[in-house]
Amino acid sequence: MNLGQPLGSVIEGSLTDGLEVRLHPDISVEDMRVGKFLVVQGMRSRFFCMLTDVALGTANQRIIANPPSWDDTFLREVLAGSGTYGTINLAPMLMFTPENNETYSATNGKSVNPFVPSTTGLASFQPQTSTTMELLPVKTIPSHFSQVYEANEDDFRRVFGWEDDPQRKNFSIGKPLDMDVPVCIDLNRFVERSNGVFGKSGTGKSFLTRLLLAGVIRKSAAVNLIFDMHSEYGWEAVAEGKNVNTVKGLKQLFPSQVEVYTLDPESTKRRGVRDAQELYLSYDQIDVEDIKLCSRDLGLSDAALDNANILYSEFGKSWIVQLLSMTNDEIEMFCDEKRGHKGSIMALQRKLFRMDSLKYIRAACPQNYIDKILQCLEAGKNVVIEFGSQSNMLSYMLVTNMITKRIHEKYVKKADKFLQSKNPCDRPMPLMITIEEAHRFLDPAIVQSTIFGTIARELRKYFVTLLVVDQRPSGIDNEVMSQIGTRITALLNDEKDIDAIFTGVSGGGGLRSVLAKLDSKQQALILGHAVPMPVVVRTRPYDSTFYAEIGDIAWEEKPDAEVFAAAELAKADLGF
């Protein structure tokens, strides 16, 4: 097998600290980039590695003490490779060992040693299928002076698969930094656990999330419930850059598979969103736990929440309507009878009056809109809930928790029915819930009281998982972060956020430098359950080429002149 030009030789290392490689004299250290995917050819195994650090070395300290002049190119060339050299650090991630009877066939019909380079370059590898190749965790290291090579297309296909693999639901998320080869994630494994998209503001988290959601919809890996706080996923969103352009949302890409619900119909109509359905919630659907989650935004004390429980015990589901209609005398009488605290109940009433200004809240609704959303999800349709002008944190915390909690309760019943009957027809389709500003729901102080903390800890027990999108992963509870299956991370600068990304990840220390050196745009580190090994990718562009490859566009915006011309032509054909 023609492995290409060797880059360097392994000179030392360990299983825990990784490998140190000395570059060959003709290899420029400037061509070695952190995050690069390299392979080390051992005697029996092939090791797939990530480049985690680059350094310069010298054979003699006197060279450093008296370096050659920059103009003295001859002396610098003499020293290069002998007196001065470059080194790189590699973190082995996977190893591949062929069976004893597995051989590579050369063009002359003779079998060759699978890991001895051909002198003629005529040997050819017969690629394995996704069902026969076996990639193993690294439990040993290659010997001294093993050669290091650039990863080729076969290596990427062997590790990350290919998008048209009939055995798996693979989706191309991007390409390596220095190659034109797709890097795929396994969507079946992706939706098995809760996942996260992280990165500081302006690094393209929403574009990454939209990319992933489009792949999940296209491959039918799960049905999605998306809480669209900033109206970026439904119909269209503003593209990044200086020019004011828009990109297509999920409804335009998959018109028959996506339903848009809106909490602000007026805003939705102004933005030209088609076929959006109105969504209203009523006071009798709000319980004390929902109010407790919003206590910081409403400014409620613990005493006010205790008195809310007293009101709920007395009035049941109508407790908010009853409270808002009470006079001061009625509150005083209630406190005398039920041992409530007048000041706390009056403060609770005053704070809850803020909810009257929310456009989507009604005293009573003619129908249960949450049931309508559940029916869409059960029918396999993906649901985007737009907030419009109601994108304040109070609305976001209240609505997401209310809807998710009730849908989760029904999924628990459906999962229990399936576990009892074992009938494949009763098996719920996996549901993935997308939330932004995730640290607000998964903060250590409140994570135990939110439905999102419960879902994150349950893994896939009830077929419901999360896709959390956040710029401050350090604000998410450590227990929840340790349960995040796949982490797709753009650039982060804060040390606490970088530490949080590697919570529960063995060998994460070597990847810290990789994450810190990402570009601020269109680069991400992917690690976790859906990929065999960590990898840095140049993320797939979200553009017209992507639309044509992924979507099922039922209509296209055309100029008025073209529309009228087509209409006149149709009339002429019909004889009008």
554 vs 251: CA distance, rounded Å: 10
Q: Which of 508, 525, 450 is nearest to 480 (CA)?
A: 450
Q: Which of 446, 439, 494 is nearest to 470 (CA)?
A: 439
Of the two residues 246 and 434, the one the predictor is more confident about is 434
Structure tokens at 347: 């403060």
pLDDT digits (tens, 9 = 90+) for 474-486: 999 888 888 898 9
Give the mean model confidence (pLDDT) for residues 45-59.
Answer: 89
- Cβ partners under 8 Å of residue 482, min gap 6: 503, 504
Q: Give percent of the chain with pLDDT exceeding 70.
A: 86
Structure tokens at 58: 């010298």
The order of strands in the sheet holding 183-186 is 183-186, 170-176, 535-539, 523-528, 486-489, 195-198, 464-470, 431-436, 223-228, 382-386, 258-262, 277-278
| Phi, psi angles (nearest 5°) of residue 32 | -95, 115
pLDDT exceeds cutoff 80 at 568? no
Pairing of strands 246-248, 361-362: unpaired
Q: What is the CATH superfamily name and number for domain 185-280+367-550?
A: P-loop containing nucleotide triphosphate hydrolases (3.40.50.300)
Q: For residue 552, what pLDDT band results from cuts at 50, 70 and 90? A: low
pLDDT exceeds cutoff 90 at 431? yes
Give the mean model confidence (pLDDT) for residues 167-193.
Answer: 89
Give the mean model confidence (pLDDT) for residues 522-528.
Answer: 90
**Dmax of the chain from CA atoms?**
100
Q: For residue 551, what pLDDT band results from cuts at 50, 70 and 90? A: low
| CA–centroid distance for 442 within its chain | 16
β strands within 33-83, DSSP E = 37-41, 46-58
Cβ atoms of 183 and 160 closer than 8 Å = yes
Structure tokens at 345: 């109940």
Least confident of 398-407, 419-428, 544-553: 544-553
pLDDT exceeds cutoff 50 at 437? yes
pLDDT digits (tens, 9 = 90+) for 155-171: 888 888 888 888 888 99
pLDDT exceeds cutoff 70 at 127? no
- The rounded mean pLDDT for the chain is 82
Q: For residue 197, what pLDDT band results from cuts at 50, 70 and 90? A: very high
Q: Which residue has the tokens 């050659």?
A: 68
Cβ atoms of 196 and 488 closer than 8 Å = yes
- On the CB side of 544, CA atoms within 13 Å amount to 2
pLDDT exceeds cutoff 50 at 572? no
559 vs 552: CA distance, rounded Å: 21
Q: What pLDDT score does 125 carry?
A: 36
Q: What pLDDT score does 3 carry?
A: 67
Q: Give percent of the chain with pLDDT exceeding 90.
A: 23
Q: Which residue has the tokens 């480049």?
A: 51
Cβ atoms of 402 and 227 closer than 8 Å = no
Q: H-type helices in 273-421, by residue range?
A: 288-293, 295-298, 302-315, 319-325, 328-338, 342-352, 369-378, 393-421
Give the mean model confidence (pLDDT) for residues 506-510.
Answer: 69
Cβ atoms of 544 and 550 closer than 8 Å = no
Q: H-type helices in 236-287, by residue range?
A: 250-253, 265-270
190 vs 169: CA distance, rounded Å: 10
Q: What pLDDT score does 186 carry?
A: 92
Q: Which of 103, 388, 358 is nearest to 235 (CA)?
A: 388
